[in-house]
Amino acid sequence: MPLCEPGDHFASLVFSNVFSGVAWEGGTSSCTESQHTASEHPSHSVSELQMQCVRAWRSLNYLCRVAHHRAWKRTQSHTTAARLDLSGIYPPIATPFTAKEDVDYQKLEENLQKYAKIPFKGLVVQGSNGEYPYLTVEERVEVVRTVKQSLPAGRLLIAGSGCESTRATIQLTQKMAAAGADAVLVVTPCFYKGKMDSRALIHHFTKLADSSPVPVVLYSVPANTGLELPLDAVVELSQHPNILGVKDSGGDITRIGLIVHKTKAQDFQVLAGSAGFLMAAYCVGAIGGVCALANVLGQELCELERLCVSGRWEEARVLQQRLIEPNAAVTRKLGVPALKQAMEWFGFHGGSCRSPLQPLTEAESQQLRRDFSSNGWL
């Protein structure tokens, strides 16, 4: 295959920029006979013109190879995005810490061994419940690398790589891919939320998806960011071949249904962002869920998925209702400290959070226990 196809605009541009003293036709060189060229450029000797031709061709040769390599990388990433099936349940795993607030990799490994016995589709690492805003970049990458080493074959690893700037998000995404992530979950930038309109967010996610070596999953979590990824932005971004889907944690079922409806022409996958509305999300076309409660009741969330997929809606309804209160307790009501406390009750390592997050008060802990016990879980 030629390095650049005849008529290639890229080739024409390079030729015209690298060497303007020779005529080029249709994107290919037309260095004419020496006497004719010399007569047009009397200040140049024939040998000088020939050397310029050689230099121009070498430059084009190199740049075309770079262009084809980049195109190949994009094709590989986009092909992977088209193949990757996200359907199923994922716990956004917590990050255990030592008493000194260092990442406790031993306890993380022990949690991973227990999760391996539950039929999850995969794990989300460094999502909101992993306390990613409080970890350094190096810690975030090392946690992903540790999880990858313990993950059973066939299970997906989705790594949170969102940062405030597009540049930092691209850099961290590349590091997460190198650490073993199969895809990245990317939260909306939110510090300057007043300027994060559809135009800014489409630009951000498009630049990321253009350069990411792995597929991208959009992440809208307005409870934490104060910003909902606009519907029109989701629809436009769904057309990008390297944007695989969205995790929507807002809980608006009409919005989730609209996303499914308006992206049905694309191979775009919608994940519910919470166990509290998982069944409802399946009803309107979601294909799975990333659910904090799966850290505690993983087997039960996988059972709810099975019931929904098999159309056993009455049984699904009964189970879903029993999950609403405990899910609310470990998410919007009491947050990550409550999730970690519940994990301890159910045989996992939760432990304390990294400061400034504080442990539950005694009253909060009692309320948390009631939310689980009144629904038959404790």
- The residue whose two tokens read 């930038």 is 189
Hey, what are 301's tokens? 């969330």
Type of residue found at 97: F
CA-CA-CA-CA torsion sign (198, 200, 201, 202): positive
Q: How many helices (H) and strands (E) does the chain have?
A: 15, 10
Angle value at C-alpha 87, between 253 and 214, nearest 5 degrees:
105
d(CA 272, CA 258): 13
Catalytic position from the list 247, 264, 333, 340: 247
Check whether the bond before 326 is cis (ω within 30° of 0): no
The answer to whether 129 and 330 are in contact (CB under 8 A) is: no
Hey, what are 208's tokens? 């990321």
- Is 247 one of the catalytic residues? yes
Name the CA radius of gyration of the chain, rounded: 26
- The catalytic residues are 247
